[in-house]
Amino acid sequence: MSDLTKLSAFELSQQLQAGSVSAEEVTNAHLDRIEELDKKVQSFLHIDKTGALKQAKEVDSKRKEKQKLSKLAGVPLALKDVLTQKDVPTTCGSKILEGWLPPYDSTVVKNLKNAGIVILGKTNMDEFAMGSSTENSAYFSTKNPWDLTKIPGGSSGGSSAAVSAFFAPLSIGTDTGGSIRQPAAVTGIVGAKPTYGGVSRYGLVAFASSLDQAGPFARTVLDCAMLHEVMAGHDPKDSTSINQRVPDVVAAAQMQDVKGMKIGYIKELNGKGWQPGVINRFNESIELLKSMGAEVKEISLPHSIYALATYYLIAPSEASSNLARFDGMRYGLRVDDGNSSAEEVMNKTREKGFGKEVKRRIMIGTYALSSGYYDAYYAQAQKVRALIAQDLTDAFKEVDVLISPTSPTTAWGLGERVNDPMAMYLADLATLPPSLAGIPAMSVPIGLADEDKLPVGLQIIAPFMQDDRMYRVGGAVEASLKSKWNGLLIDQIPTLGGAS
Amino acid sequence: MSSYSDAINKYDPVLGLETHVELSTKSKMFCGCATDFGAEPNTQTCPTCLGLPGSLPVANKIGIESTIRIGLALNCTIATYSRFARKNYFYPDMPKDFQTSQYDEPLCSNGYLDVLVDTEEGSKNFRVEIERVHLEEDTGKLTHAGGATGRIHGANYSLVDYNRAGIALVEIVTKPVPDTGEYAPLVAKAYVTELRDLLRGLGVSDVRMEEGSLRCDVNLSLTPKGSKTWGTRTETKNVNSLRSVERAIKSEIERQAIELNNGNTIKQETRHFQEDTGTTRSGRSKEVAEEYRYFPEPDLVPIAPDSKWIEELRSQLPEQPSIGRARLAKEWGFTDLEMRDVATLGAVDLIAETISFGASPSAARKWWAGELARKASEDGVDLTVLKISAKDIARIDVLVTEGKLTDKLARQVIEAILIGEGNPDEVIAKRNLAVVSDDSALLPAIKEAIEANPEAAAKIKEGKVQVVGVIVGAVMKKTGGSADAAKVRELVLKTLGS
């Protein structure tokens, strides 16, 4: 493994600023590693070698001209294929968007470009972000770099795999019900879902508008915070974007101190049927936090047991409407024999262009919104959503942050749950309550499960627009474990082979 | 007995009107694109109004403000909390395959508009109650090519222009209007007329029915006299002029009455008004309620107008059209009936403008409510779109007053202006239409006319001056109406020594 790919974004940024390495060299090092090893992992749907090198050279020439550059200028990144990037394919992991070149940059991409971050390419994902394993991609399944027979989590599995495989120090995912946190947990890296409205959704191809949120992946809490800072901020193009100062997540990530903080572990998210190795690591984290001077106690979120049912009504309902536009009339796939009516073309295009899981959710959502069912399903789910959010609001009157295991299990085997959607949905059990409440949450690695030696994640949940609090706890846990292990958890990953 | 009076004797019509008004906001409702009418197809578009993946809407504040102002002018309650909703259905003219509209939380509700209609017992006020006023976006415009009908079925291909997609559209829905009896068509027409004037006065829309910035759907059902249950209603679309509103209702009353008389039931359906025949034809059947799967639009935040803002908008409302009309009628010396005719024609503003350019009120009314109204009616368009300006009419009136044009010549000038030959003075010069009052030019024609009418000439010589009209008429005919009639009369009498 080349030294440059082993460095964190923070370390790379220091070397780039010092001039000891160029952005072009850094980019090439990562592109070389991707070229050599991504055939094993299959994290990328599209590698934009030309675009990335062009961006890198621009950063280098700006640095040569002593122009002011952001801290992360020249650091490479992998982008989930659900965010539009001008003139670069954006498929959302679906055949229905194959060949579409967006004519505009998403606000996230605009922010990345303004910061001089080099976008290496677009990463694989469950089709339209629907799934927890990336097996619902219409193109191929991504493998977990810890064990190539396992799933990398989902829906942002391409982004989590790319960072854990050292193809990029940073990547971007999106999280609707856990699609950043769960992949981060099962690949042993850090992933954060900011407060809903903290990062602009403009250019994020919608799955469930009231839940979708883009966020960062990295191998360290500090890197994650640095990327978070670049992505976040008010955007007048997104009506749900919050017009407030971005919380100082970078400073919080560096505090490494939780003394006096009140931390609650969620009673309902620690239960029967959870993998013992996950529970063991989680219990150790509680002790660790206590030993660092935090006050830890149990908190009950009584309505959180309804989160799964609530989510699987609201998200598919919004999806059924958001995905209506993929009808073959304007862009992407069009199935047209030249003799069909517009209605037939729409039907045939959607029949061929959407995968099974997407169709399943469109049908659930269509049903839930239908007159006669709306009150019993969608409207009822919105009421329960409010109760779940209220539970969390009440909890934060007692504690500063909440914690739980990120996912009930470690990475499972590829193919194991593809015919069992319910088992797949259960992977989101712990990540759903903060999603429904629109509050920030992140996952940090806390060790390997005893049974399978696969990574376990700790979910840290903070109140609305207090994203800095979770970074403070995450940074402290990471620092403490780092000194215990003499390195990051990701440093324990088996080698993928290749020149190292 | 006509089929209409027969129908009205047996049944009571219940009306309902749904009016769509395109707001004249500079930019679209949910993006910054321009809204100019008639631009090159698909040039006023962006990712948002094309519904491209990832794009998001942002509500136009002026659109919301205009809707509230309409609601206030219609005596509505303004919601303190209102949301947009998605109306889901697949159609190629809708980029997102859902329309951003409002459902159970409209901006304005429960208002009314009073309209005056001439009845046998004189002028009578009818109160039309308003159910709701809500804000939504317009769809794109489809053009079907290659088919015989111009409809999507049977077309070889269709073209979509998304310039219109996303333009702010306000829907004004009345409650069912009962108890209008035989006046139902007139009440409906008066309502749309009054609404149009009110919207124009607010300055929120061009309200041009022929350009589609004001569109009307008419709901109608019949109840047998004495019955308390309302009948099944039909919804008639494509009612694109004030005259059509009246005709469509009349024809639908007649059609439904015949169906009921024959023992048939009325099908709940959408019908289309046909200008040429003045009747409605069956469209989509609505027996199965449409499934739009409405739900609150998660990409937009709720609207919560505070009372301070609402009161500020209320205080800035212009004069109600009916009050304005009463004031103008007095100022211009028009009778109530004259004023109402002028209002129905949509000519109030045009007349005011014509007067401001120097015409007399009576002349301005004469031209706009007479000659020009006839032209507009022939072409099936509103007065405002005729290619003649208030300034042109004022100039013509001045020329007539000064004796430089006769009425007949003036009509020729108007004809020429309407086909684009220029302003009045240019037309007069080009067509050589000025009144001839020069003796030497008139005398040969007078001589000829006297020779052609020896009996009349003899009577005039005997002192029966009232016969002079025969000779003058002949001269006018001879000169194609370009002679100054007073001058001709004077010269004829002089020639005949009377």
Residue B100, pLDDT > 80, answer: yes
pLDDT for the residue numbered B37? 85
Q: Using the beta-carbon criterion (under 8 Å), do A374 and B295 form an inter-chain contact?
A: yes
Over range B129-155, report the average pLDDT. 85
A15 has a chain B CB within 8 A of its CB: no
User: In what helix (H) or strand (E) does residue A218 lie, and over which residues does it extend?
Assistant: strand A213-218
Let me know: does A25 contact A5? Beta carbons within 8 Å: no
Q: What percent of chain B lies above the pLDDT cut of 70?
A: 97
Residue A500, pLDDT > 50, answer: no
pLDDT for the residue numbered A499? 46
Indicate the pTM of the whole model.
0.87
Nearest by CB to residue A239, choosing from B51, B58, B86, is B58
Q: How far is B96 from chain A (nearest CA, A)?
A: 4
Q: Using the beta-carbon criterion (under 8 Å), do A369 and B293 form an inter-chain contact?
A: yes
Local structure of A199: helix, strand or coil: coil
Q: How far is B95 from chain A (nearest CA, A)?
A: 7
Nearest by CB to residue B54, choosing from A106, A341, A371, is A106
Quick one: pLDDT band at residue A462, thresholds 50, 70, 90? very high
Q: Contacts of residue B291 in chain A, CB cutoff 8 Å?
A: 370-371
Nearest by CB to residue A342, choosing from B57, B92, B293, is B92
Residue A173, pLDDT > 90, answer: yes
Let me know: does B310 contact B69? Beta carbons within 8 Å: no
Location of structure tokens 């001839």: B436
Q: Contacts of residue B56 in chain A, CB cutoff 8 Å?
A: 201-202, 237-239
Over range B450-454, report the average pLDDT. 87
Residue B150, pLDDT > 60, answer: yes
Over range A30-43, report the average pLDDT. 97
Domain extent listing, chain A = 7-255+471-491
- Distance from C-alpha of A265 to C-alpha of A135, rounded to nearest angstrom: 31
Segment among A34-38, A186-190, B395-399 with least mean pLDDT: B395-399
Higher-confidence residue of B465 and A123: namely A123
Number of Cα atoms under 13 Å in the Cβ half of residue B269: 14
The residues of A that are catalytic are: 80, 155, 179
For chain B, the residues whose C-beta falls within 8 A of a C-beta of chain A are: 47, 50-59, 86, 88, 90, 92, 95-98, 152-153, 158, 160, 289, 291, 293-295, 298-301
Outline where A325-379 has alpha helix (H): 342-353, 356-369
Q: Contacts of residue A341 in chain B, CB cutoff 8 Å?
A: 152-153
Over range A471-486, report the average pLDDT. 97
Over range B433-444, report the average pLDDT. 76
pLDDT for the residue numbered B286? 54
Chain A stretch 378-437, residues whose beta carbon is closer than 8 A to a beta carbon of chain B: 378
Local structure of B111: helix, strand or coil: strand
Q: Contacts of residue B101 in chain A, CB cutoff 8 Å?
A: none
Phi, psi angle pair for B65, to nearest 5°: -60, -45
| Chain A with chain B: Cβ pairs closer than 8 A | 102
Quick one: pLDDT band at residue B148, thresholds 50, 70, 90? low
- Which of A271-275, A488-492, B203-207 tops mean pLDDT? A488-492
* A85's tokens: 């990037």
Location of structure tokens 């396992």: A150
Q: Contacts of residue B96 in chain A, CB cutoff 8 Å?
A: 324-325
- Distance from C-alpha of A156 to C-alpha of A217, rounded to nearest angstrom: 10
Measure CA B108 to chain center.
25
**DSSP character for B424?**
H
- Across B406-429, b (16+ Cβ under 10 Å) vs e yields beebbbbbbebbeeeeebbeebbe
Q: What is the mean pLDDT of chain A?
A: 96
Nearest residue on chain B to A365, alpha-carbon basis:
B293
Mutate to test the interface with B, among A92, A97, A314, A321 (most CBs of B within 10 A): A321
Q: Using the beta-carbon criterion (under 8 Å), do A321 and B295 form an inter-chain contact?
A: yes
Nearest residue on chain A to B94, alpha-carbon basis:
A325
Q: How far is A204 from chain B (nearest CA, A)?
A: 5
Nearest by CB to residue A239, choosing from B53, B86, B301, is B301
A373 has a chain B CB within 8 A of its CB: no
A376 has a chain B CB within 8 A of its CB: no
Segment among A424-433, B143-152, B240-249, B444-453 with least mean pLDDT: B143-152
pLDDT for the residue numbered A223? 98
pLDDT tens-place string over residues A11-27: 999 999 999 999 999 99
How many other β-carbons are positioned within 10 Å of the β-carbon of residue A243? 9
Q: How far is B349 from chain A (nearest CA, A)?
A: 40
- Distance from C-alpha of A216 to C-alpha of A250, rounded to nearest angstrom: 13
Higher-confidence residue of B489 and A105: namely A105
Q: What is the mean pLDDT of chain B?
A: 90
pLDDT for the residue numbered A1? 46
Higher-confidence residue of A421 and B4: namely B4
Chain A stretch 303-362, residues whose beta carbon is closer than 8 A to a beta carbon of chain B: 317-318, 320-321, 324-327, 329-331, 341-343, 346
pLDDT for the residue numbered B209? 85
- Point out which residues pair with B272 in neighbouring strands: B237, B281
Q: What percent of chain B lies above the pLDDT cut of 90?
A: 56
Mutate to test the interface with A, among B299, B301, B303 (most CBs of A within 10 A): B299
Q: Using the beta-carbon criterion (under 8 Å), do A83 and B54 form an inter-chain contact?
A: yes
Q: Using the beta-carbon criterion (under 8 Å), do B90 and A327 form an inter-chain contact?
A: yes
Higher-confidence residue of B229 and A224: namely A224
- Which of A80-84, A414-418, B213-217 tops mean pLDDT? A80-84
pLDDT for the residue numbered A338? 86
Local structure of B325: helix, strand or coil: helix
Local structure of A274: helix, strand or coil: coil
pLDDT tens-place string over residues A74-126: 999 999 999 999 999 999 999 999 999 999 999 999 999 999 999 999 999 99
- The answer to ipTM > 0.85 is yes
- Distance from C-alpha of B306 to C-alpha of B353, rounded to nearest angstrom: 38
Nearest by CB to residue A97, choosing from B53, B55, B57, is B53
Architecture of the CATH domain B439-495: Orthogonal Bundle (1.10)
Segment among B217-231, B409-423, B431-445 with least mean pLDDT: B431-445
Q: Contacts of residue B92 in chain A, CB cutoff 8 Å?
A: 327, 329, 342
Radius of gyration of chain B (CA): 28
Residue B164, pLDDT > 60, answer: yes
A370 has a chain B CB within 8 A of its CB: yes
Let me know: does A409 contact A145? Beta carbons within 8 Å: no
Nearest residue on chain A to B303, alpha-carbon basis:
A239
Quick one: pLDDT band at residue B287, thresholds 50, 70, 90? low
- Distance from C-alpha of B237 to C-alpha of B248, rounded to nearest angstrom: 9
Q: By CB neighbour count within 10 A (0-12 exposed, 13-18 middle, 19+ buried), where does B33 fall? A: buried
pLDDT tens-place string over residues B109-126: 999 999 989 888 888 999
Domain with CATH 1.10.10.410 in chain B: 439-495
Residue A153, pLDDT > 90, answer: yes
- Distance from C-alpha of B367 to C-alpha of B353, rounded to nearest angstrom: 13
A90 has a chain B CB within 8 A of its CB: yes
Location of structure tokens 């992360």: A72
Let me know: does B169 contact B138? Beta carbons within 8 Å: yes
The CATH code for residues A7-255+471-491 is: 3.90.1300.10
- Point out which residues pair with A174 in neighbouring strands: A214
Outline where B132-241 has alpha helix (H): 184-202
pLDDT for the residue numbered A445? 98
pLDDT tens-place string over residues A363-393: 999 999 998 899 999 999 999 999 999 999 9
- Point out which residues pair with B172 in neighbouring strands: B19, B133
Residue A265, pLDDT > 80, answer: yes
Quick one: pLDDT band at residue A213, thresholds 50, 70, 90? very high
Q: Using the beta-carbon criterion (under 8 Å), do B53 and A236 form an inter-chain contact?
A: no
Residue B403, pLDDT > 90, answer: no
